[in-house]
A and B are shown apart, each in its own frame.
Chain A
Amino acid sequence: GAGVSQTPSNKVTEKGKYVELRCDPISGHTALYWYRQSLGQGPEFLIYFQGTGAADDSGLPNDRFFAVRPEGSVSTLKIQRTERGDSAVYLCASSPLIGDRGRGTGELFFGEGSRLTVL
């Protein structure tokens, strides 16, 4: 398909375990974003990539969270020593950047999210 793909769609794990969530963005989209959404809340910014580098990781809550995008396409969000409070839907979005200043269009194309439940 042509949209943003996230796997797994659902993940149930136990407290203390390690989890990886994968995002496959729309082909050619330079920017990639990770957000976290808890029930009844709006998406909370975690990290933003331009190409391979993390341009802004100020939203990562602590050092248990880490994300990579080694080839500028697929990204993986990694959570170590999971806690019950990490339970949420993790949304990935990609966006094209246009113009020589890399200005965006305002459109983030979201995947359907990975629903993480930590027991």
Chain B
Amino acid sequence: QKEVEQDPGPLSVPEGAIVSLNCTYSNSAFQYFMWYRQYSRKGPELLMYTYSSGNKEDGRFTAQVDKSSKYISLFIRDSQPSDSATYLCAITDSWGKFQFGAGTQVVVTP
């Protein structure tokens, strides 16, 4: 079993809808949680980073962590076609080995 599980999608939503993404993890030692966005044939880029349970907002993006359930989420409000990409969760217990989920492909249709 992988340490980080993420539904690969694809997830198709109409423009303006809320996109909901999530990951589960198995190791309770994980304490730093990140979401990366990856466009086709590009390297991933960091969207959100948090280390505590609860919500963190940044513009249209909200990251949510529930350490008791080992569950993390990313919400994208007012989705735009430019949000079409693959979204990767990444988790680490230290600043060395980051474990990535499989990535969820999101398609926002105009």
Asked whether A and B interact, the reply is: yes
Chain B positions within 8 Å of A56 at CB level: 96-97
Chain A positions within 8 Å of B43 at CB level: 4, 91, 93, 110-113
Interface centre among B45, B96, B99 (most CB of A within 10 A): B96
B97/A103 in contact, CB under 8 A: no
Q: Which residues of B are interface residues toward A (Cβ below 8 A)?
A: 4, 6, 8, 32, 34, 36, 41-46, 49, 51, 88, 90, 95-103
Interface centre among B32, B41, B51, B97 (most CB of A within 10 A): B97
9 further contact pairs, Cβ within 8 A, besides A56-B96, A102-B95, A104-B95: A4-B43, A42-B88, A42-B101, A42-B103, A48-B96, A91-B44, A107-B49, A108-B46, A108-B98
A-B contact pairs, 20 of them (CB 8 A): A4-B43, A42-B4, A42-B6, A42-B88, A42-B101, A43-B88, A45-B99, A56-B96, A58-B97, A91-B43, A102-B95, A104-B95, A106-B34, A107-B49, A108-B46, A108-B98, A110-B43, A111-B43, A112-B41, A112-B42
Chain A positions within 8 Å of B32 at CB level: 106
Q: Which residues of A are interface residues toward B (Cβ below 8 A)?
A: 4, 31, 33, 35, 40-45, 48, 55-56, 58-59, 91, 93, 95, 97, 102-108, 110-113
List the A residue with the shortest CB-CB distance to B86.
A42
Residue A59 contacts which of B6, B44, B97, B102 (CB distance < 8 angstroms)? B97
A43/B95 in contact, CB under 8 A: no
